[in-house]
Amino acid sequence: MDIPILFEDGEALVIDKPAGLPIDRPRKGGECLEDHLDALKLGFQRLPVPVHRLDTDTSGCLLLARNPKALKRFNKAFEERRVTKTYLAVLAGHPPGTSGTIRLKLAKISSEAKGWRMIAARKGKEAVSHWELVQKLGAHSVIRFTPETGRTHQLRIHAHKGLGAPLLGDPIYGSEDQRGKGAARTLLHASGLVMPRDGKPDIEARAPLPPDFVALGVVEAEAENGAEAGAGAENG
């Protein structure tokens, strides 16, 4: 598997993580990002280390640190919410408006029948996401999320509970009818990342649209320009 590199310097890499590649080794075994870290050394002695997480299904920008000092600084930037991450998501429905902010507290629950998942709960941890409508695709819509926090499954819950429709292809959140058809994975793509650095240029990366987004009719120009350019576009 060829993993594209979106940004490279002496302390960081940003890769375009393929959909379907988990960061951690699955309990049942199988391929994961660890299998590719040696190839991503690119002449360095140390293996690069993922700084944050992306779900297995999620494609796009993933930051890796190339040394321990950089990892410590990057972790601090994430903790202080100074990192800007943008995601494109295909919603199995339409949002109530064209932009807004979702604030929900999230907690993890588990059951023998359904396994673990996240729910909106008053005693959960705060999760904040800003969103805007980018493009309409018939019964579906393309949303740009800019999360302030990085909770597990945050955007998937915010789509389902905050916007009233789950992400297209999501196997967990929403009923089977709500989740829609025509997607082999949860359609969430980490499209951009900006990591500020003191005394150095920011780390900036943008991941191109993956093939399954393009096949649905998501348009690159609209994905970049936002809701004003894309809200009136109807396809299919």
CA distance readout (Å), 120 to 52, 94, 152: 22, 20, 12
CB contact at 8 A, 188 and 167 = yes
Those residues with Cβ within 8 angstroms of residue 124's Cβ, 6 or more apart along the chain or in another chain: 104, 105, 106, 107
- Catalytically annotated residues: 55
Quick check: helix, strand or coil at residue 84?
Answer: strand
Q: How far is CA 171 from the centre of its chain?
A: 16
CB contact at 8 A, 174 and 160 = yes
49's enclosing H/E stretch is strand 49-50
Q: Which residues pair with 110 in a beta bridge?
A: 116
